[in-house]
Structure 1
Amino acid sequence: MNTPISFGRRSEIYKLDDHKVLKLYDFDFPQQKVVGEFNKTLAIYNARLLNIPKPIEVFERDGRAGIIFEKVSNTALIDLFQKKPWLYLFYQKKITDIHKQIHKIQIKDLPTQVSEFESTIANSDKLLKEDKNDLLRILKRKHRPVLCHGDFHHGNLILRGNEYYVIDWMDAFVGDFRLDVALTAVNAAVSDAPKHVPAFYRYTYELLKRLFGLDKHYIELYGLKEQGMKDLIFLAAGIHLVRHSQKNDSLHRRYFEKAKT
């Protein structure tokens, strides 16, 4: 197989031909999650309401699972920011506009936020019983269900001419748009830049996080009030702690404990 043309946190992207690419996950990545990503992406693609690369088929080779996608000739925003990290703030308004566009969509055939997160929270060994009860109470509040990406950030946007394509729908669900905003905000505060990106970008991104408080900045830019988002920030911090904190557990823990107060 040729050299990857791009990388995800747990995957590599290979060009198959002029029309297709392969997103190939690590050896230990569960095939069930890959199949879930394919099914979610196909449901959203078939709705024809967003620009997303078409998922073609699930792929498996030598114990590694992946998905073959339509190839979209593009510039990934994260590649652009690697060269000029200060453009991150310049593009934030456009990123929130795309997020709002996603939240206008109602779609079937996706898990609800309760089915997506309830068992993960309930079965986690990282949470106290009282914290689990509080998180599940917030999770089950009534809301107007809309399409939510679940992991929306600049690394999941690609630019093709003047059009933006949204990728990586593995964590998509139908739920409260404010939870989706909170997940993005918390991600901006606690997630590291991928290890494959240049050190200059990683350092600059960390500096932006500290100087601008990117979590609060994103909430405000979306048009929401931080005070009215406290419970959902707490929920999003809990979700990040139990799902994504393997390599950065202490920072996720500190953020969660702060959000709890």
Structure 2
Amino acid sequence: MSDDCLNEVRSINFSDLIANGNTASIHLIDHKVYKIFNKNLPSDEAIREARKQRYAYASGLRVPQVFDVVEMNGQQCIVMEHIQGRTLGELAFEEMNQMESYLRTSVGVQQQIHLVKADFIDPMLFKLQRQIESADFLNHIQKEALVKRLSDLSGESQLCHGDFHFYNLISSNNEIVILDWIDASAGNPAADVYRSYLLYTQVSDQIAELYLNLYCETSSIPRDEIIEWAPVIAGARLSEHVQSESPERLLEIVNRFC
């Protein structure tokens, strides 16, 4: 089936729920995963994520295969391959003495993503500008400064995951599978790395610094080039209204640089 439309399929049994997130619930039915999106999201959310995930899959990255995009109980849904395994985040926090090893593995996967040219994926610069302009916590002057800074940064067209951390990586049968592609875009890998760094700082500054050092050690991107994205990425994240994130913390980053 094409991913350009949604077909109504049978009602889902919500006892099949295996996970629940901010934007979707995950169900396991007949050995397939059904990702059902919340009703308040844009009507093309599932289609856009499926298109990006299929692009990543066609590029040779190990991601769950998308089988269909459908409507269930009046909600948009992606039907995809079920990956059995555990996240690298779960494994890392069970074996804290192996944290560096798990982070090193995740960095290798992220660098594989960044090798992919993504000329047919939504540009990161447009996405970040939309987020900045819609962030309620930013005033007009801050938004103008961030958009100006964004325009001065390098706009590459490499594939960037947009929400890369080791809880979006599943270890399965001696391979690492990459989940959650809705935030993927074509852009500068340095911005993608800072986004990951920012997410890790929510958990631990020590883990965040270890991650960033490992990425810089094994790539040609210097630390300064990554950190210069700090105010833009922090400002854009303010539009997401994530309960676990502190707006004050993000605003402090924005004000420190702008």
TM-score (norm 2): 0.81
Do the aligned partners of residues 220 and 244 (structure 1) sit closer, same or farther apart at CA in structure 2, a change above 3 Å counting? farther
In structure 1, C-alpha distance between the alignment counterparts of 2:255 and 2:97, rounded to whole Å: 28
Contact preservation (8 Å) 2:162, 2:183: yes
Task: Flag the 1:137–1:178 CA change in 2: closer, same or farther, 3 A.
Answer: same
1:16 counterpart = 2:24: no
Equivalent position to 1:69, from 75, 80, 84: 80
Amino acid at match of 1:109: F
Cα distance change, pair 230–84 in 1 and its aligned pair in 2 (3 A): closer
User: C-alpha distance in 2, partners of 1:254/1:119?
Assistant: 17
Change (3 A) 1:258 1:142: closer
1:132 to 143, 146, 151: 143
Distance 2:27 2:19 in 1: 7
What is the CA distance between 1:258 and its match in structure 2? 5.8
Q: Secondary structure at the match of 2:117?
A: coil
- Within a 5 Å distance, the mapping from 1:49-64 to structure 2 comes to 49-64=60-75
Displacement of 1:105 after TM fit? Answer: 0.8
Structure 2, unmatched stretches of 5+, are 1-12
- Report which stretch shifted further, 150-159 or 63-72: 63-72
- Give the one of 215, 226, 229 matched to 1:222: 215
AA of the residue aligned to 1:241: L
Task: Give, as a single letter, the amino acid of the residue that structure 1 aligns with 2:214.
Answer: L
Instruction: Find the counterpart in structure 1 of residue 231 from structure 2.
Output: 234
Match in the other structure for 2:53: 41
Counterpart in the other structure of 1:174: 186
Contact 2:118-2:185 at 8 Å conserved across structures: no
In structure 2, relative to structure 1, the CA distance for the partners of 1:63 and 1:246 (3 Å cut) is farther
Gaps of 5+ in 1: 191-205
Shift of 1:188: 1.2
Q: Greater CA deviation, 57-66 or 164-173?
A: 57-66
* CA shift for structure 1 position 167: 1.1
Query: Cα distance 1:258–1:131, how it changes in 2: closer, same or farther (>3 A)?
Result: closer
Instruction: State the TM-score, normalized to the length of structure 1.
Output: 0.81
Which has the larger displacement, 100-109 or 38-47?
38-47
Q: Distance in 2 between matches of 1:157 and 1:136?
A: 31
Classify the secondary structure of the residue corresponding to 1:121. Answer: helix
Distance across 1 between alignment mates of 2:42 and 2:105: 33
Query: Number of residue pairs matched?
Result: 240
Q: 2:123 aligns with which of 112, 129, 141?
A: 112
Q: Secondary structure at the match of 2:41?
A: coil
